[in-house]
Amino acid sequence: MEINREQISDWLKQLQDSICKALETADAHSKFEEDVWTREEGGGGRTRIIKEGKVIEKGGVLFSAVQGDTPDFLLKEQEHSVIATSGPKIKSRFFATGLSLVIHPKSPMVPIIHMNIRYFETGPNAEGQTTRWLGGGIDLTPHYIVAEDAKFFHAELKKVCDRHQKEYYSRFKKWADDYFYIAHRKETRGIGGIFFDRLGSDKEMSFEQNYNFWKDVGLAFAPVYTDLIRRNKNLPFSEKNKEWQLLRRGRYVEFNLVYDKGTKFGLETNGRVESILMSLPKLAGWEYDFRVEKNSEEEKTLDLLKKGIDWV
């Protein structure tokens, strides 16, 4: 029986529930507040926000399922997609459902994390065909890069990929390196992770097989990130570390507002602004012509914000 959009949306809501529960347990202080919203053009979602926690300063776990007229930029991508159906141009309607989350911790010793998994449909076209695909990814942005943590994070993602397709990790890690790159700073946003888009049916994997991989990416989030919280939440830090955290958050903001496709998609489809911008931290900083001290932990981190590092 073919997997349909309702099954996918229902599974994403279950995943939202389980992730929120795991994060509340890890924080041990604050609880998520839920904001249920509807979209005039069709659909809606559940935005859950946690703030002023013991570990988490601000975090959001957002489920959405929306539909409407397909934006021009997505139609252009569709025309160049290798999995687009052939034939007459599709009608300009889309359905999208997904789960997006970003966690900004209180301590600069605990890394920022982001995950997004999404499902798109466009069509049907004049021949009654619907084009559909899966996308997503998970990436880590430490304020201070710890090699042991970076190795753990990437090794866990590689395990997920290897269970489904041996070449996925190297392919999707490179994609993440290229995607989460702040070109105007000439640095990566963090240590990357995996990123993929337009997974459908291909020569190696059916849609159902890719769907199972996609689900495993979502299920990997909670155990991996709660372990990173456990490792780092009680480490001491200074005011200097907090100032550096604000500057690194500033870089995060720059990426999300300048380059992030999800932000662009939300704004160009008349999305809900509060939910789209829930990825931004409560506080961030910018300092004119900031220079790190030689041989400092900050300089060591900057030296590792580059593409192509084999963390595993």
Task: For tokens 């995996």, name the residue.
Answer: 194
Query: Cα 46–50–52 angle (5° rounding)?
Result: 160
Task: List the helix and strand counts (H, then E) for the chain.
Answer: 9, 9
Query: Cα 20–33–95 angle (5° rounding)?
Result: 70
Rounded CA Rg of the chain: 19
What's the residue count for the chain? 312
* CA distance linking residue 189 with residue 255, whole number of Å: 7
* CA distance linking residue 77 with residue 58, whole number of Å: 33
The tokens describing 29, both together, are 């202080």
Task: For tokens 């009680």, name the residue.
Answer: 234
* CA distance linking residue 155 with residue 223, whole number of Å: 13
Cα dihedral value 151, 156, 159, 165, nearest 10? -90
Of 80, 104, 114, 164, which is the active-site residue? 114
Report CA torsion sign: 41, 19, 178, 205: negative
Known active-site residue 143: no
Name the packing angle between helices 147-162 and 168-179 (round to 10°).
130
The tokens describing 226, both together, are 């709660």
* CA distance linking residue 259 with residue 108, whole number of Å: 24
* CA distance linking residue 303 with residue 87, whole number of Å: 49
Q: Which residues have a catalytic role annotated?
A: 114
